[in-house]
Amino acid sequence: MNDVTTSTTDSKVTISSTQPNYAKVQNKSVSRQIWLAKIPNKLHQAWENAPEGTVLGHFTFTKGGVKDPKTGKVSKDSTKQSLSVQVDESIHKNKEHDLPLSYSIEALTKKVPVLHPFTRDSDGSVVLHGTVARSCNLQIQHSREYSRLLKNRLLSTVNSSRYVKPVDASDVSLARDAAALKAASGADFGSSVARHGQEVIDAKNDAANAGPSKKRKFEGQSLRTILFEMFATQQHWTVKEIRAASGFPDNEVRAALQEMCDFHRSGEHRGSWELKKEYQPQS
């Protein structure tokens, strides 16, 4: 610890030391311009731990396209001006080291406050190494090598062990029965599509197999008239039955039923249609 004494005279503080260079500022290099760069922690640790004399990396400036004197713009196909840093491979301790090597310099600006990097010597003197002229950030370049490093990091965190739970035959049987019940009830979308397709096929077969007397019975009549006649003989009808008896297409039958009838979604007559009260004959 340095031996420092202080004395006060006329409200002024004077600092003296037994070491002549204590608090002495050496500013011979203060005019030297320095860049202040923010770098990733892993890169900082690698550079900090590298032995003295190690080549840390290479700084590359790529010249961009020249502006057209007529338009004052740079062609879109021209090379983009860039600054990059390639870390020397000797920084790697081994081949499995996951340190990215390629970085780009981003957010480069001259708008920085007055900053002077310095070091303090053992005798207490302070050495100014220059003045910060620019600041920037080092960002990892997304290359194939970096993608490989990310993949290796992900794989290293995955646990390769697997736990397989045995399944009893009874569990498999219950699951199969539940799937069959779900398909039979039409709860899933696939069963609904299959059921609709089967209805279309059945309607075509019914129309082809219908007798001439059934076709002649409603020939030349409107769909509304046919519906009134059918519901006069039977209270509940399905779309399939009405389509087969009337010969009208499915979309027209359903449109007329939605206007004139009520649909039973549950109960004894589930899936069938019944005339609305205002269309039923008054007893």
Per residue in 180-207, pLDDT (tens digit) is: 655 555 555 666 667 767 777 776 666 6
pLDDT, tens only, 206-223: 666 555 444 446 667 888
> What is the spatial distance between Cα 99 and Cα 87, in angstroms, rounded to a whole number?
9
- pLDDT (0 to 100) of residue 3: 45
**Which pLDDT belongs to residue 19?**
64
The pLDDT of residue 46 is 85
For the entire predicted model, the pTM comes to 0.42
In this predicted structure, what is the pLDDT of residue 162? 54
User: What confidence score (pLDDT) does residue 217 get?
Assistant: 64
User: Higher-confidence residue: 269 or 95?
Assistant: 269
**89: pLDDT confidence band, cut at 50, 70 and 90?**
confident
Q: Is residue 239 over pLDDT 80?
A: yes
Give me the chain's average pLDDT, please.
Answer: 76
What is the reported pLDDT for 7?
A: 40
pLDDT at 181: 59
Is it the case that residue 78 has pLDDT exceeding 60? yes
The secondary structure of residue 94, as a DSSP letter, is S
Taking residues 136-155, what's their average pLDDT? 83
Residue 131, beta-bridge partner list: 33
Question: Please, what is the Cα angle at 195 between 192 and 196, to 5 degrees?
Answer: 85
The reported pLDDT for the residue numbered 22 is: 75
Q: How many helices (H) and strands (E) does the chain have?
A: 8, 12
Topology of domain 186-279 in CATH is Arc Repressor Mutant, subunit A (1.10.10)
pLDDT tens per residue, range 26-77? 888 888 999 888 888 888 888 888 888 888 888 888 887 777 777 777 777 6
Q: Where are the domains of the chain?
A: 25-64+80-151, 186-279
Confidence at residue 131, expressed as pLDDT on a 0 to 100 scale: 93
What b/e sequence results for 181-215 when a residue is b if at least 16 CB atoms lie within 10 Å of its CB, and e otherwise? eeeeeeeeeeeeeeeeeeeeeebeebeeeeeeebe
Q: What pLDDT is attached to residue 176?
A: 65
Looking at residue 69, its pLDDT comes to: 74
Q: Do residues 83 and 116 touch, judged by C-beta distance below 8 A?
A: no
The predicted pLDDT at position 274 comes to 92
* pLDDT score of 12: 45
DSSP character at residue 116:
-
